[in-house]
Structure 1
């Protein structure tokens, strides 16, 4: 499941729109859902727009692992940080991810533990 986390973060960190969309199509099911306190979206297009909006709001920030992956069956939970590369994250959250039988992400339930400021 650590590969799942790496692929997940790769999608969130890819700033080239074409490359990001290719990652999303490879690692997320077509009707995947993503829900956190600030977003509730379904499908590749909406997910891509959400990731792009986060990148625009926090230019130059990167998502990094902030703890181990805890996984069983087709679900995993992990903590991530968002901040300038090489610096202490300003935002920390954790996500629960459920995959399909093909290993692609079907559902993400996100939580924010610490925000900026």
Structure 2
């Protein structure tokens, strides 16, 4: 297994880790000091903010898991990971693409794309 494949697996594992302490340890190991995550819904600067984004996604999509949906493609220090969000063993409800910019075997930037884009709550809306 290549280093980029290992990095992609660790990235998805961090999104699936329900224990906040273990998840934060994964985020800290995985992301570079000046980490940044951007998708159509959120921008997160720094490991703490990225961990918050992952925790929020877990609350929004309980019972769903992130899984790799194809081979990781990579050149130079940029990788493309396709993924799905689905119930364990079930069909995907969201598919996505993560463009990962690496630095010394860690994530420096991740740009996420979602299909379909999940509903975004209005500011101040309650569920």
TM-score scaled by structure 1? 0.94
User: Structure 1: 5+ residue runs without aligned partners?
Assistant: none
Q: Whole-Å Cα distance in 1 between the matches of residues 40 and 55 of structure 2? A: 17
Q: Whole-Å Cα distance in 1 between the matches of residues 25 and 118 of structure 2? A: 30
> What is the Cα deviation at residue 30 of structure 1?
2.2
Q: Whole-Å Cα distance in 1 between the matches of residues 110 and 9 of structure 2? A: 15
Q: Deviations over 1:83-115 (max 9, x none)?
A: 111101100010100111x21100001101234
Q: Which has the higher strand share?
A: 1
> What is the Cα deviation at residue 116 of structure 1?
5.6
**Aligned CA-pair RMSD:** 1.3
- 2:65 paired with 1:62: yes
Q: Deviations over 1:7-58 (max 9, x none)?
A: 1101101010000000000010122000000110110110010000000000
**In 2, are the aligned partners of 1:5 and 1:69 still within 8 Å (CA)?**
yes
TM-score scaled by structure 2? 0.87
User: Structure 2: 5+ residue runs without aligned partners?
Assistant: 120-127
Q: How does 1:24-35 map to 2 (within 5 A)?
A: 24-35=27-38
User: Residue 104 of structure 1 corresponds to which residue in structure 2?
Assistant: 106
Count of aligned positions = 116
